[in-house]
Amino acid sequence: MVPGVGGLKDHEMVNLLPVTQTPKDSGEVEKGSNERNALIDNSKFFLMWSIILIHSYEWPGHAATLQMFIDPFGTRAFCFVSGVVSRSPCSWRGLRRLFTGVVVPLLFFNTLVRPLGEHTGPETIPEFFEVTTTWMFPRFTAGDGLQHLHVTWYFYCLVLWRLLGYAMHHLPAGTKLGVAVVIGAVGGYLDTTWFALTWGLVSYPVFVAGQLFPLTTACEVIPWSPRTALFGVGILLALYFLTAIDIVNDFVGDVPNFGWVDSLSLSKWKYARPSCSIVEFLLLWNRGLLRNLLEMLKAMTLIVLCVPRWHCWVSDLGKNSVFPYLLHSVVIHLLQQVVPIVDRVTRHSVAGAVVLAFLLNVSLSSWPVRNVFCFILDPVWLDDLISRLCS
């Protein structure tokens, strides 16, 4: 067993989602152990830091390279981690956790937290319902698609990935990955904004790659040490500085983050069809494949080489990443309204935004915030209630 990896089995994993709960080793669960996967929890903390950073700064032109490097790296890496911890077949327990750990928090967030935190205050009940309905059912065009989905798109995609994962569970590994690549390639051509469907389909190959990735074996072959961590940091820095080269920067800038023709991602390729041949248009999916490979390379480098594998204070915060993920955008919006220095930081200082993102990640994962919001954002009580009613 690799220290800090919690005896993670590469063939099976209990059905708990990384945004809410990190799974224990399936073998250890059978023995009644409460050991958690420290490596996954630590990785979630650092990935959440990068996600909050994306939304903590307005990214003017001189910071475009850094923005390009970390977006969509954070969410793509989280997608990879979602696959790593979602390997077991369809079961009642897994479906129950999907409902109580993803669907219910999404409903509560869109109907209670976000309208109260970001909307200036509905003056009438019909207006309140209009706001919550719009945010709950994202089916709009480029103008406000990103505004209304914002961070919640990942929860819609989690549901899609898990259901597709259940449907494809019994396929051989090679077949499963091949089908996932086809799904991602076709999905990128869909011009739909329903429930972030295009984003979910395009990212699905990364989820499957996480399911197939032998994390325990990789950690056994490459033991963690300060030297390996520095080597991993060196790889990430090399990729960043490579991206800063003009010709590479232009090339990577032309690789879409998600769908290459969908309006939700505001893709520059949305109108590519009239300006290129049929063959060229049909090959645009290669750019999406390249994006997935690039972000997976960064994700595996961070998780396997850089992130510590032992339990520490970071682990305790990382395992509660659902709270900073859902709350950080609302908190940033409120702070910009009432704390002038926060508004200046988000506009003019990358270093300040890095510090702000770290502080938000730590504070929103802490026990006071969890105690306030756990009833609606991590409704373990509902999971227990359903379990008792159905037993």
Asked if pLDDT for residue 191 goes beyond 80, the answer is: no
Per DSSP, the chain holds a count of helices (H) and strands (E) of 23, 0
Asked if pLDDT for residue 264 goes beyond 50, the answer is: no
**Tens digit of each residue's pLDDT (9 = 90 or more) over 347-376:** 888 888 999 999 999 999 999 999 999 998
* Closest C-alpha among 207, 228, 209, 214 to residue 309: 228
pLDDT of residue 367: 92
Asked if pLDDT for residue 269 goes beyond 60, the answer is: no
pLDDT of residue 339: 84
For residue 274, cis peptide bond before it (omega within 30 degrees of 0): no
For CA atoms 25, 26, 28, 33, the dihedral sign is positive
Q: Which residue has the higher pLDDT, 129 or 307?
A: 307
pLDDT of residue 260: 64
What does the pLDDT average to over 300-329?
93
pLDDT of residue 114: 73
pLDDT of residue 274: 52
pLDDT of residue 125: 58
DSSP annotation of 261 reads S
Q: Which residue has the higher pLDDT, 198 or 135?
A: 198
Q: Which residue has the higher pLDDT, 43 or 243?
A: 43
pTM for this prediction: 0.83
